Amino acid sequence: MKNLSIIKLFIFLLAGLILSSCQKVVVLDLDTADPILVIEGNITSNPGQPQTVFVSTSGSFYTGDGLEAVGDATVLIKDGEGRVDTLEMYAPGIYFTYDIEPKENQEFSIEVIRQGETYTGSEIFPVKKVIDSLGYVVNEGFFGNGLNEDGDTTYNILCRFQDPEETLDYYRIFIYLNDSLVRAGFSSYMVADDELFNGQLFTLEIFESGAIKGDTVTVDLQSIGYNTFRYYVGLNDALSSGTGSTPYNPISNLSNEALGYFGAYTSDSQNIFIE
């Protein structure tokens, strides 16, 4: 059973990476490129959390010159019923609203206007999935006994959740160890679609959390939109390419050659104490 769980996890993570290899990427001259507008916006149903859009301009990849927050943009979000909300600016580059109420399967769109240019994008708000239960098993390790540098036994986390059968769904997963975010490979999250476990009550075994007895582990299971998924798969791929490959920007759903993405997600969190 453990070997099967390992195989499932590898397939779960590699599914996203395979998708990224089938997508067109745009190579950037990061040393000399002129500043480009960067938009990062999300619609979420988390209680008390505003809908937030960050707007900036890109700078030199090597020196950071030209990187700056944008305080002269107009940012609008429209829901699937035609209501339009103009976001307030909290600080240069940070725009927000509390007036949008996300609805499942509804399309939301963004419009950013700056210096006579208009940038648009859209995303479908996903159906929320919840964690059924968390558990843990001894980490037996791939090439050792799964002990940490102090000789303590470490544990893998088991996250069980029900995936709906009628839709293709996308996930992003964050792991916290005693309230500190755990890195997963080249980033701080895992992403995957449900192509290989569609409709199942699926148990994901999360490796290398570093948890030992006395630790508390929190799993944040996010249901994300397709465009959000595609962007973060591309970001993972870019981060894992290393300095030996040509840098490129992740695939965006924004128009007018803007960088970034406009996405949507729901979130469900549970924690477990390692006894």
Q: What is the CATH number of the domain that holds 83?
A: 2.60.40
> Would residue 64 count as lying in a domain?
yes
Pair (11, 66) in one structural domain: no
Pair (14, 139) in one structural domain: yes
Pair (82, 117) in one structural domain: yes
Pair (97, 216) in one structural domain: no
Pair (11, 137) in one structural domain: yes
> Would residue 42 count as lying in a domain?
yes
pLDDT of residue 181: 93
In which domain, by residue range, is 140 found?
A: 2-21+128-226+268-273
Pair (82, 6) in one structural domain: no
What CA–CA distances, in Å, run from 42 to 23, 112, 127, 257?
22, 14, 15, 19
Q: What is the pLDDT along the chain (275 residues), one digit of tens a residue?
A: 434 443 344 334 433 433 333 333 334 444 445 788 999 999 998 888 999 999 999 865 444 566 789 999 999 999 988 999 999 999 999 999 999 989 999 999 999 999 999 999 999 999 999 999 999 999 887 655 788 888 899 999 999 999 999 999 999 999 999 999 987 655 678 889 999 999 999 999 988 788 999 999 999 999 999 999 999 888 877 766 554 444 567 889 999 999 999 999 999 999 999 99
Helix then strand then coil, in percent of the chain rounded to 5, is 15, 45, 45
Pair (122, 133) in one structural domain: no
> Would residue 233 count as lying in a domain?
no
Tokens of 157: 């986390």
DSSP 8-state symbol, 130: -
pLDDT of residue 110: 98
Pair (51, 118) in one structural domain: yes
Q: What's the total number of domains in the chain?
A: 2
**Cα(36)–Cα(250) distance, integer angstroms:** 14
